Amino acid sequence: MLSYRRHRAGQGLRSTADIFDAHLGLCVSPLYINGNEEQRKKFVTPLAQGKKIGAMAVTESDAGSDVSSVKTTAVRDGDHYILNGSKIFITNGDVCDTVLVFASIPKLAPRGMTAFIVEKAPRLHGRKEVTIRLE
């Protein structure tokens, strides 16, 4: 059903299909495949129903999209992690409700890269970038 909806979206504006692809392919699918049952229920269900919008944050100004060069870190603080770093070029970033943020856990280096599920909060902010696409 989702591939049919993606196909139908692609028949309209190409940018609509790109937004849907980023939502589905970069956020919903990884959460569904790698998340546990509790995460699927809390995050995948509203994302798949279209009640929330998802994104993935990997790209950094010095690392590009090379996950092994990501400088954003995650440090455990009690029962949660504190993420420190910045990301760029996040499709849906200005409108997302849920974002997968890639960060390294220095204590587990070099195998400490993971994705954190971040719900939109006042401290999660960014700006909309205008880009030109040539076809």
* Structure confidence by residue, pLDDT tens digits, 37-66: 999 999 999 999 989 999 999 999 888 888
How many structural domains comprise the chain?
A: 1
> According to the model, what pLDDT value does residue 123 have?
57
> According to the model, what pLDDT value does residue 84 have?
92
Classify residue 131: in a domain, yes or no: no
Classify residue 97: in a domain, yes or no: yes
Q: Tell me if 100 sits within 8 A of 56, measured CB to CB.
A: yes
> According to the model, what pLDDT value does residue 1 have?
42
For residue 99, which amino acid is it?
V
Q: Average pLDDT in the 103-111 region?
A: 84
Classify residue 48: in a domain, yes or no: yes
Closest CA to 75 of 98, 53, 50, 104: 104
Poorest-confidence range of 73-77, 89-93, 123-127?
A: 123-127
> According to the model, what pLDDT value does residue 130 have?
56
Could you tell me the CATH number of the domain that includes residue 17? Answer: 2.40.110.10
Classify residue 33: in a domain, yes or no: yes
Task: Name the β-bridge partners of 117.
Answer: 100
What is the token pair recorded at 111? 């195998």
Does pTM surpass 0.85?
A: no
Classify residue 110: in a domain, yes or no: yes
Classify residue 125: in a domain, yes or no: no
> According to the model, what pLDDT value does residue 52 have?
92
Classify residue 109: in a domain, yes or no: yes
For residue 58, which amino acid is it?
V
Domain of 33 in residue numbering reads as: 2-119
Task: Name the β-bridge partners of 100.
Answer: 56, 117
